[in-house]
Amino acid sequence: MEKKNFYITTPIYYPSGNWHIGTCYTTVVCDAIARFKRMSGYDVFFLTGTDEHGQKIEEKAKEQGKTPIEFIDPIVDGLKAIWAKLGISYDRFIRTTDADHIKCVQKIFKTLYEKGDIYKSEYEGWYCTPCESFWTEGQLKDGKCPDCGREVHLEKEESYFFRLSKYADRLRKLFNDNPEFLQPKSRVNEMINNFIDAGLQDLCVSRTSIKWGIPVDFDPNHVVYVWVDALPNYISALGYGAEDSSLFDKFWPCDLHMTGKEIVRFHTLIWPAILMALDLPVPKRVYGHGWLLIGGDKLSKSKGDKISTELTDPNEIIERYGSDALRYFLLREIPFGNDGIYTNEILLHRINSDLANDLGNLVSRTTAMINQYFGGILPSPIEAGEFDDDLINIAKNAYKNASLAIDEINVPKALGEIFKLIGRANKYIDETTPWILAKDESKKARLGTVLYNLAESIRISATLLLPFIPNAPVKILKCFGIDAEKLLNFDSVETFGVLKAGISVEKCAPIFPRIDVKKELKEIDDMMIKRHKEKEKELKKMANNTVIEEKAPEITIDDFAKVELKVAKVLTCEEVKGSKKLLKLTLSLGDEERTVASGIKEYYKCEDLVGKKVVLVSNLKKAKLCGVESQGMILCAEKDGKVVIVSPSQDMPEGSIVR
């Protein structure tokens, strides 16, 4: 029988340099679906990659004194390394800087120009001269450049435009005739009402003010602008328009474009219109998923340095808990189509409750009992009993139900179907109480059946879990003598009774050790707070250096006269509790005493200070530092991290004026 094809894509990622767990969401979901479809007998092509052109990249590279490619390459390598850790089984990783993509985009641009769907006109926008950037009215901040805050002015730039407006009726028809085209359905109205009905504007598709892009080959002053460069990756990756277009012929139209909700508009309006203009079929389905939120904010590139103790670096989460745990969290916790929330606590509870408890305990209890009661040899199912049918039914239907959920693109629901079997099997242990059966020799046949049924339930659930968490099921199945690397399809999951009685069953070690959540959270909090403090210190140090290096503004003698400086003698000194930096000094000014909190603990011991003459800024406004009221400030000299107290070069009476 000929295999059915399935083409699935993620959006291509901007190499901004800050990969976080939100970035992983779309790709992990696509990977689970791609793996599930492969095991269901489909010939799958799974595409992901990076979107590397544009002004932002050009600017960031410049800031670092690099060429755009020198800037991008290590970031892309970082993403590929994360995909490797997460076991992302893509068939191609496309980069929009790949030669075949560039050629394809140029060809598409020319074809559309020749057909009259792309035309030359003028783009009018707000231009910031120092930034060399165009902004739309909506992008301005208080009428000024959102990047540098300077004045902008209206300017025109010669540009090519795509006739998006021409396709409004066909797009409306696309939505009306194909209720499956965009999902979740809730997003359809927004596209029709807010965009199509509001009037589609032709789209600016080239720029002369940006250099980092694909040149329009017949007019090289222009580079292709953003979406007409990015969206065609879905067909350039398959060799559209190239000498060998066999992949394109086989896989296009795409079965599923998975995208975040903020870019649904580009995938369901602009992209189909470009395809219509090229006389190509439109994608079968676009799914707009929700965002992973942290503390109510989308995890985004620009908020990467937000103060928070949540772990957001996928590398770090994988290192601590393994890639299956991160994949499981992303696939299970976020209600599909809606936003979901990440906190360390939610992640840890998910690991404990589903993976360590439900799955882990089922496997360790079952394999331990087979070893304890049957010497590690799988018994035969010879004596059926109460509860068996229910368990067996759920096991036999798990694949069908999970598969239906995958076709609805509801990944958490698919996992829920598999965990229904795991939950049922755990309940079956409580119902059949094998440890009681084991006490009675006459119940040995029943005990054997119970354990056999449990082993089969584990085999089916572990096999079904392979697309979602590719590592743990391999270890589980190995305990039952199954080499999961060779398990390339789901052929065995709808039959109950595949495991042969008499095979050896290993006692499975806990696959997901239980985490002490309270202890772990404390450890993460401490670590993250320490990290933030170090970062702050670093920033402060940098800021201080800048201040020192910068010339102070000129002041008049009158300005200086406002500062009262007096010689003072240190009478007592003690450390300020809870502060790493402060010492509490009592100073004598001759006719009065002052208390001063001074940040010199790193440089002086108390015994070296008592009796010393110092210079005090004596008319400084009082301030409370770590609970100490500081009535002035002593002067220090500082350079390259060295700090020394300023003292009169000869002994002078306390209270002497310094000028």
DSSP reduced 3-state for 240: coil
Q: How far apart are CA 332 and CA 327, in angstroms?
A: 8
Q: What letter does residue 361 receive in the DSSP assignment?
A: I
Is residue 11 part of the contact set for ligand MSP (CB under 6 A)?
yes
Kindly state the tokens that stand for 220: 């090289």
Determine if 259 is a binding residue for ligand MSP (CB under 6 A).
Answer: yes
Q: Residue 552 pairs with which residues in a beta bridge? A: none
- Choice between 54 and 239, CB closer to ligand MSP: 54
The answer to whether 83 contacts ligand MSP (rule: CB under 6 A) is: no
Query: Is residue 231 involved in binding ligand MSP (CB under 6 A)?
Result: yes
Q: Which of 7, 19, 25, 162 binds ligand MSP (CB under 6 A)?
A: 25
Site for ligand MSP, residues 273 to 292, rule: CB under 6 A? 291-292
Q: Show the tokens assigned to 472.
A: 């743990």
- Span of 166-174, 260-268, 375-383, 582-590 interacting with ligand MSP by CB under 6 A: 260-268
- Region 546-575 residues binding ligand MSP, contact defined as CB under 6 A: none
Comparison of 28 and 505: residue with beta carbon closer to ligand MSP: 28
Q: What is the spatial distance between Cα 619 and Cα 641, in angstroms, rounded to a whole number?
A: 27
> Is residue 51 involved in binding ligand MSP (CB under 6 A)?
yes
Single residue of 60, 92, 298, 507 touching ligand MSP by CB under 6 A: 298
Piece in contact with ligand MSP (CB under 6 A), picked from 19-27, 168-176, 453-461, 548-556: 19-27
Under rule CB under 6 A, residue 229 binds ligand MSP? no
Q: How far is the CB of 48 from ligand MSP (least distance, A)?
A: 10
Among residues 11, 197, 225, the alpha carbon closest in space to that of 118 is found at: 225
Give, as ranges, the residues between 577 and 616 that touch ligand MSP (CB under 6 A): none
314 counts as binding ligand MSP under rule CB under 6 A: no
Of 8, 12, 72, 573, the residue at the interface with ligand MSP (CB under 6 A) is 12
> For residues 616 and 570, is the Cβ–Cβ distance under 8 A?
no
593: phi then psi, degrees, rounded to nearest 5: -115, 150
* 82 touching ligand MSP, by CB under 6 A: no
Q: Which is nearer to ligand MSP, 49 or 434 (CB)?
A: 49
Tell me if residue 449 falls in helix, strand or coil. Answer: helix
Residue 86 found at the interface with ligand MSP (CB under 6 A):
no
Please identify, using beta-carbon distances, which residue of 260 and 322 lies nearer to ligand MSP: 260
CA angle 83, 337, 266 (to 5 degrees): 75
Residue 25 beta carbon to ligand MSP: minimum distance, rounded to whole angstroms? 4
CB 330, min distance to ligand MSP, A:
9
| Distance set, CA 585 to CA 505, 565, 604 (Å) | 72, 17, 12
Q: Should residue 28 be labelled a site residue for ligand MSP when binding is judged by CB under 6 A?
A: no
**CB-CB contact of 301 with 14 (8 Å):** yes
What does 539-598 look like in DSSP terms, one character per residue? HHHHHHHHHHHSPPPP--HHHHHT--EEEEEEEEEEEPTT-SS-EEEEEE-SS-EEEEEE
Concatenated DSSP letters of 501-538: TT-B---PPPSSPPP-HHHHHHHHHHHHHHHHHHHHHH
Give residues in contact with ligand MSP (CB under 6 A): 11-14, 22-23, 25-26, 51, 230-231, 233, 259-260, 262-263, 291-292, 298-299
